[in-house]
């Protein structure tokens, strides 16, 4: 059970179910004697920032990049830090016990929906985070022409505000949330509209956020996607040049492209590898005293500036990098690393199997032998969906695709939906 605290910071994204879940969470916290400070609709990094400023724990009601019908709760420890494994496991065990009890879930929701929930509403707290993001920009970016895609999510109001505070007049896409259009054919998971608009507007760069605004993907002036690996390569190179990449280390996950690792090796930058998930990246950054880490999906952590991934902050840092470089994003990205062809296949499964790599160990070994050291194979269950992700890197797209499809068929054979 949670012990007494002076408060718990809570925010949510724009999903239809968010307000109801926030009320239920608030009722539970108040029943445990915990004060609740509601930020309303707020990006995940804003909730973490407020928690860090006030030394409070927090929660974000969001399903990140998923469709509107999904939702969940992310918890932060006091100070805006992700929970350690032991605490997260205990929470999951407590939830399992509640769901296995006599009180039906719909009855529990009915009780909390009618409860008198006394919370402190602090809509203005998010403006402090906006100001901090603006203050973090180390260059004049006002000459850039920028398009942003807010995914009809939590960045819909704050991202345009931040960029306008920097002297920009951004073209804003998908910033009219209605509760059901979050991530719907938009945002970092569906950047096609952003790519088209960047080309049509003659823009220098496009920035794509996800539903809770803790991710960033970019689009260059030609309409080509720039993923998290390329952004990390650019940021690491820039920070090292300015003497700000602590220990000359970069933290990445197992999904990061081999080309990123090879380029960092050429530059003398140590690559620290973690399992998939920004929580693991953050733990590694603490362990090695690193200043930069992230994921191919666009979670990027500047640990001197934030306690979690922050899409808006990452976007501002990218704009500053481009303003300093004085070169198109396409050229800066191309110089940062050579991407090996990488094929990712999402295989629906009936049950998420954490042991999928062990079950298909022989098939994986055969695939690795076929690649002969010139590529990689990775099988892992999704952390949020009933999928197994099959990733293959090779020296050619055709080889990577053939190996990936063969392994995907094996996943289907042993556990397909």
**At 348, which helix (H) or strand (E)?**
strand 342-348
For residue 108, what pLDDT band results from cuts at 50, 70 and 90? low
| Percentage, residues of the chain above pLDDT 70 | 94
**At 345, which helix (H) or strand (E)?**
strand 342-348
Residue 146: inside a domain = no
- End-to-end CA, the chain: 37
Mean pLDDT of 352-357: 82
Place of tokens 């996800």: 210
Residues annotated catalytic, as ranges: 64
Q: Residue 125: its pLDDT value, please?
A: 93
Distances (CA, A) of 50 to 8, 19, 189, 283, 414: 10, 20, 27, 20, 45
Q: Residue 6: its pLDDT value, please?
A: 64
pLDDT tens digits along 119-176: 788 878 999 999 999 999 999 999 999 999 999 999 999 999 999 999 999 999 999 9
The rounded distance, in Å, linking the Cα atoms of 286 and 344 is 30
* Mean of the per-residue pLDDT values of the chain: 92
Residue 131: inside a domain = no
Listed in order, strand segments (DSSP E) in 234-285 are 249-253, 270-274
- With b for 16 or more beta-carbon neighbours within 10 A and e for fewer, the 173-206 pattern comes to bbbebeeebbbbebbbbbbebbbebbbeeebbbb
Residues facing residue 60 across a β-bridge: 11, 74
The rounded distance, in Å, linking the Cα atoms of 416 and 40 is 39
Residue 259: inside a domain = no
Please say which residue of 96, 126, 156 terminates a domain.
Answer: 126
Mean pLDDT of 382-388: 83
CB 29, CB 57: distance < 8 Å: no
**Alpha helices, DSSP H, located in 102-184:** 105-113, 125-135, 158-165
CB 231, CB 314: distance < 8 Å: yes
Total number of domains in the chain: 2
**At 226, which helix (H) or strand (E)?**
strand 225-226
Mean pLDDT of 36-61: 96
Which domain CATH number covers 86?
3.40.120.10
Q: Residue 121: its pLDDT value, please?
A: 83
The rounded distance, in Å, linking the Cα atoms of 81 and 95 is 21
For residue 214, what pLDDT band results from cuts at 50, 70 and 90? very high
pLDDT tens digits along 65-78: 999 999 999 999 99
For residue 97, what pLDDT band results from cuts at 50, 70 and 90? confident
**Residue-number span of the structural domain to which 354 is assigned:** 342-415
Query: Is residue 114 classed exposed, middle or buried when 0-12, 13-18 and 19+ CB atoms within 10 A define those classes?
Result: exposed
For residue 373, what pLDDT band results from cuts at 50, 70 and 90? confident
CB 258, CB 375: distance < 8 Å: yes
The rounded distance, in Å, linking the Cα atoms of 58 and 78 is 7
pLDDT of residue 15 exceeding 60, the answer is yes
Q: Residue 33: its pLDDT value, please?
A: 84
Please say which residue of 126, 152, 167 terminates a domain.
Answer: 126
Residue 87: inside a domain = yes
CB 407, CB 400: distance < 8 Å: no
Please say which residue of 126, 150, 177 terminates a domain.
Answer: 126
pLDDT: is 250 or 30 the higher one? Answer: 250
Q: Residue 1: its pLDDT value, please?
A: 32
Q: Which of 35-49, 264-278, 341-355 shows the lowest mean pLDDT across its residues?
A: 341-355
Query: Is residue 170 classed exposed, middle or buried when 0-12, 13-18 and 19+ CB atoms within 10 A define those classes?
Result: buried
pLDDT: is 382 or 203 the higher one? Answer: 203
Which domain CATH number covers 388?
3.30.310.50
Report the 10 Å Cβ neighbour count for 136: 16
Residue 182: inside a domain = no
The rounded distance, in Å, linking the Cα atoms of 396 and 193 is 28
pLDDT tens digits along 261-315: 999 999 999 999 999 888 899 999 999 999 999 999 999 999 999 999 999 999 9
Residue 140: inside a domain = no
Structure tokens at 310: 């922050």
The rounded distance, in Å, linking the Cα atoms of 315 and 148 is 9
Phi/psi for 209 (5° steps) reads -105, 165
Q: Residue 123: its pLDDT value, please?
A: 79
CB 81, CB 32: distance < 8 Å: no
CB 310, CB 355: distance < 8 Å: no
Residue 356: inside a domain = yes
Residue 120: inside a domain = yes
| Percentage, residues of the chain above pLDDT 90 | 76
pLDDT tens digits along 178-201: 999 999 999 999 999 999 999 999
Mean pLDDT of 44-52: 97
């Amino acid at each position: 059970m949670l012990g007494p605290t002076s408060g718990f910071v809570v925010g949510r994204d724009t999903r239809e179910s968010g307000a109801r879940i926030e009320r239920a969470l608030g009722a539970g916290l108040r029943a445990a004697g915990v004060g609740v400070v509601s930020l309303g609709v707020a990006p995940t990094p804003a909730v973490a920032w407020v928690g860090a400023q006030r030394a409070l724990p927090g929660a974000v009601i969001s399903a990140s990049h998923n469709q509107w019908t999904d939702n969940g709760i992310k918890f932060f420890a006091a100070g805006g830090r992700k929970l350690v494994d032991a605490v997260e496991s205990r929470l999951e065990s407590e939830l399992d016990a509640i769901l296995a009890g006599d009180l039906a879930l719909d009855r529990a929701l009915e009780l909390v929906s009618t409860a008198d929930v006394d919370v402190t509403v602090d809509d203005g707290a998010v403006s402090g985070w906006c100001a901090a993001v603006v203050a973090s920009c180390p260059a004049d970016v006002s000459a850039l022409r920028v398009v942003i895609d807010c995914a009809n999510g939590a960045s819909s109001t704050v991202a345009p505000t931040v960029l306008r505070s920097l002297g920009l007049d951004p073209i804003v896409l998908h910033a009219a949330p209605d509760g059901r259009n979050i991530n719907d054919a938009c945002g970092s998971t569906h950047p096609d509209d952003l790519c088209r608009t960047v080309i049509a507007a003659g823009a220098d760069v496009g920035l794509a956020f996800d539903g809770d605004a803790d991710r960033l993907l970019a689009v260059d002036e030609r309409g080509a996607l720039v993923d998290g690996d390329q952004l990390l390569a650019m940021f690491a190179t820039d920070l090292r040049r300015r003497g700000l990449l602590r220990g000359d280390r970069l933290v990445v996950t197992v999904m990061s492209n081999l080309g990123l690792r090879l380029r960092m090796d050429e530059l003398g930058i140590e690559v620290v590898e973690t399992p998939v998930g920004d929580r693991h990246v953050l733990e590694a950054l603490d362990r090695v005293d690193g200043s930069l880490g992230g994921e191919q999906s666009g979670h990027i952590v500047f640990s001197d500036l934030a306690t979690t991934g922050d899409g808006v902050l990452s976007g501002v840092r990218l704009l500053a990098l481009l303003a300093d470089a004085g070169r198109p994003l396409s050229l800066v990205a191309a110089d940062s690393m050579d991407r090996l062809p990488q094929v990712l296949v999402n295989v629906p499964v009936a049950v998420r199997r954490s042991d999928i790599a062990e079950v298909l160990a022989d098939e994986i070994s055969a695939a690795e032998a076929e690649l002969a050291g010139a590529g990689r194979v990775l099988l892992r269950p999704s952390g949020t969906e009933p999928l197994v992700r099959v990733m293959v890197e090779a020296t050619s797209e055709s080889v990577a695709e053939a190996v990936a499809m063969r392994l995907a068929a094996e996943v289907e054979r042993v556990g397909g939906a």
